[in-house]
Amino acid sequence: MTSLIKRVIPTLDRILVRRAEAANVTKGGIVLTEKGVERMVEGTVVAVGPGSRNPQSGNYIPMGVKEGDRVLLPKYGGTRVDMEDQKEYVLYREADILAKLE
């Protein structure tokens, strides 16, 4: 993991994802763009928050994804975070993640 990312620790149930380079189809055979229109985002999880909090106890509820997971995300939503390494990162909430890609 580049040291850049090491310094960004998402809060609560947020997840920092590095978007995969533009590709029409993922290794898993999922069609990301169709007739040039991007419909889905594939990416890799680079940092994970502690989780959302139990409103009673305040304990964190561990996340269902971890650093290194490849994930499928909807085209819209998330907060873009640009880094000096020219790659594109996006902050999502755990609930936004559509699926994990093995």
Shortest Cβ 86–its own copies spacing (Å): 9
Hey, what are 102's tokens? Answer: 């093995």
Per-residue contact string for residues 1-40; x = within reach of its own copies by CB under 8 A: ---x-xxxxxxx-x-x--------x--xxxx--x----xx
By rule CB under 8 A, what count of residues binds its own copies? Answer: 50
* CA atoms of 22 and 29, how far apart (whole Å): 14
* CA atoms of 41 and 28, how far apart (whole Å): 13
* CA atoms of 2 and 4, how far apart (whole Å): 5
> By three-state DSSP, how is residue 95 classified?
helix
| Residue ranges in contact with its own copies by CB under 8 A | 4, 6-12, 14, 16, 25, 28-31, 34, 39-40, 47, 49-51, 53-58, 61-62, 64-65, 72, 74, 79-85, 91, 94-95, 97-102
